[in-house]
């Protein structure tokens, strides 16, 4: 290469596989079904999972699965070897049945089957009774009062308490081992304790579902490949800076910087836009017929975003997820933004409209992420030291959105709960957060999960870059302030 010649870099490729099928709502019609069915589906999955873990959790306690299985074997033995003597057979079977009824621990016990003072293990779904939880009836009555209301950011109160529910009953929980501020409605747990004379259940210990099984990270490649995450563009909003986002586009497409920047840009294999890309002014969304001037306000942000995304789609693969402010259904799982909204970008095979949550695989590395609604809702109804702790809790509970449908809107599924985590991702990201946060979570069975909070780009000018080679990530900061 001679002096003055430009060095050309070829963008690296990564094998992509979408796993969003379970979040797609197609071929289903709402026929008045209630949300109880999704709770029953969730309880069924959690109960089967926790019952398989109970014998490892409390192996020293008598009467657990081993005792039950032993009685079953003895019953079969007596039936087979005492066929000639009905009297002896009936005598020993009666003894075995009485022993079975007196087992200390019964893992399949239901709430209405609790006996006072008897130690047991029950499995169910948590319901959190909250004093400050918003209610439409309370809001209506307060609107008629003259006292101005202050809506709290967090609805946790010291008088909150937990209740365990199953298909047939509910019981109030007591005890110091279960702290109400750490849990939300919809969490599945196994509880060890006993029923008190007051009718409550005294919790001595509890078991969470734990991190789901995880595929091993691929080790056949050792080259740098980056995935870039950005969220909260809010095109059309007052905080959106077109020049700032154009700088990001130029950097990702290799049109900005020097040779080192070109090389870094060529290592970027995918861009993920995690929701809230469009912000339409609420003043024109009042249900009234729009004037001609207001119609342009409604469509201009979408047209502007399409122009920007087209520049990216020309150069690299990108996924766009819907978010709280985007023109998509408000309840989870949010369906992909319609491709007709982006006539320019959708002409390219590199442009993918995805669901929220979004689950995909890239070179054997599994990603799962949301646009932030699930974590923001946990922040309203529980307490944690940071947003990463809420993300970690959803992994331990094996559920992306435990508060749905109680306080977070979701589709009324009847036969499944798509938010239940079958496998543990290697990267778990959440968009539209206040600031960038990250942590590498290490699980008990050599789990490695990179947790990422992606800040709103319109406020921070920050995108996040993740290296597929080692799951390390760092920020990419863009600013148009000449004094910064």
Could you tell me which of 210, 172, 211, 167 has the C-alpha nearest to residue 193?
172
Q: Give 7-34 pLDDT, tens digit per residue.
A: 788 999 999 999 999 999 987 777 777 8
Is the separation of the CB atoms in 334 and 358 below 8 Å?
no
Angle at 48 between CA 332 and CA 187, to 5 degrees: 45
- The answer to whether the bond into 295 is cis (omega within 30° of 0) is no
Give me the helices (H) in 59-193, please: 65-81, 86-101, 136-143
104: pLDDT confidence band, cut at 50, 70 and 90? Answer: very low
- Per the prediction, the chain carries an average pLDDT of 86
Q: Distance between CA atoms of 189 and 54, rounded to whole angstroms? A: 11
pLDDT reading at 136 higher than 80: no
Please check whether residue 468 is in contact with residue 227, taking contact to mean a CB–CB distance below 8 angstroms.
yes
Label residue 139 by pLDDT band (50, 70, 90): low
CATH code, 16-33+213-284+292-477:
3.60.21.50
Question: Are the CB atoms for 252 and 464 separated by under 8 Å?
Answer: no
pLDDT of residue 1: 47
Q: Where are the domains of the chain?
A: 16-33+213-284+292-477, 58-64+105-139+152-209
Q: How confident is the model at residue 88 (pLDDT cuts 50, 70, 90)?
A: low
pLDDT the model gives residue 48:
93
Q: What is the pLDDT averaged over residues 256-285?
A: 89
The tally of CA atoms less than 13 A away on the side-chain side of residue 344 is: 13
Is it the case that residue 93 has pLDDT exceeding 70? no
CATH (one of 2.40.50.430, 3.20.20.450, 2.115.10.20, 3.40.50.300) for 58-64+105-139+152-209: 2.40.50.430
Q: Quick one: average pLDDT of 325-348?
A: 95
As a whole number, mean pLDDT of residues 183-202 equals 95
The per-residue pLDDT for 110 is 87
Query: What average pLDDT does range 79-87 have in this prediction?
Result: 54
Quote the pLDDT of residue 443: 87
pLDDT at residue number 79: 54
Task: State the pLDDT at residue 151.
Answer: 60
Does the pLDDT at position 106 exceed 70?
no
């Amino acid at each position: 290469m001679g002096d003055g010649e430009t060095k050309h870099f070829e963008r690296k490729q990564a094998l992509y596989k979408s796993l969003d099928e379970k979040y797609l709502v197609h071929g289903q019609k709402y026929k008045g079904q209630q949300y109880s069915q999704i709770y029953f589906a969730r309880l069924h999955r959690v109960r089967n999972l926790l019952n398989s873990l109970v014998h490892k959790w409390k192996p020293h306690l008598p009467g657990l699965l081993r005792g039950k299985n032993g009685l079953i074997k003895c019953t079969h033995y007596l039936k087979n070897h005492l066929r000639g003597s009905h009297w002896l057979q009936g005598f020993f079977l009666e003894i075995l049945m009485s022993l079975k009824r007196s087992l200390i621990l019964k893992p399949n016990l239901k709430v209405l089957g609790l006996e006072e003072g008897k130690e047991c293990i029950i499995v169910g779904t948590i319901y959190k009774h909250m004093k400050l939880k918003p209610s439409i009836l309370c809001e209506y009555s307060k609107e008629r009062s003259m006292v101005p209301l202050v809506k709290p950011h967090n609805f946790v109160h010291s008088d909150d308490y937990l209740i365990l529910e199953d298909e047939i009953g509910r019981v109030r929980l007591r005890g110091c081992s279960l702290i109400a501020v750490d849990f939300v409605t919809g969490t599945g747990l196994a509880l060890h304790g006993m029923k008190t004379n007051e009718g409550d259940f005294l919790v001595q210990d509890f078991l969470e579902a734990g991190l789901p099984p995880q595929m091993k990270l691929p080790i056949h490649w050792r080259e740098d490949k980056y995935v870039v995450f950005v969220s909260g563009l809010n095109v059309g909003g007052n905080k959106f800076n077109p020049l700032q986002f154009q700088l990001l586009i130029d950097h990702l497409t290799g049109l900005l910087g020097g040779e080192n920047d070109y090389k870094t840009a060529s290592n970027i294999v995918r861009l993920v836009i995690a929701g809230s890309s469009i912000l339409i002014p609420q003043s024109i969304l009042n249900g009234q017929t729009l004037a001609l001037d207001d119609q342009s306000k409604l469509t201009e942000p979408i047209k502007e975003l399409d122009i920007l995304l087209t520049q990216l789609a020309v150069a690299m693969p990108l996924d766009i997820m819907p978010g709280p402010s985007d023109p998509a259904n408000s309840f989870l799982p949010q369906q992909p933004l319609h491709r007709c909204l982006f006539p320019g970008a959708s002409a390219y095979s590199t442009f993918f409209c995805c669901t929220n949550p979004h689950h995909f695989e890239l070179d054997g590395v599994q990603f799962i992420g949301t646009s932030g609604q699930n974590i923001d809702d946990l922040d309203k109804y529980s307490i944690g030291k940071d947003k990463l702790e809420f993300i970690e809790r959803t992994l331990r509970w094996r559920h992306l959105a435990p508060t749905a449908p109680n306080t977070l809107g979701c589709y009324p599924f009847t036969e499944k709960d798509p938010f239940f985590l079958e496998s543990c991702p290697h990267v778990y990201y959440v968009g539209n957060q206040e600031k960038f946060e990250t942590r590498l979570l290490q699980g008990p069975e050599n789990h490695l999960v990179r947790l990422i909070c992606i800040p709103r780009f319109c406020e921070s000018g920050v995108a996040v870059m993740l290296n597929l080679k080692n799951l390390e990530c760092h920020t990419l900061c863009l600013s148009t302030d000449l004094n910064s």
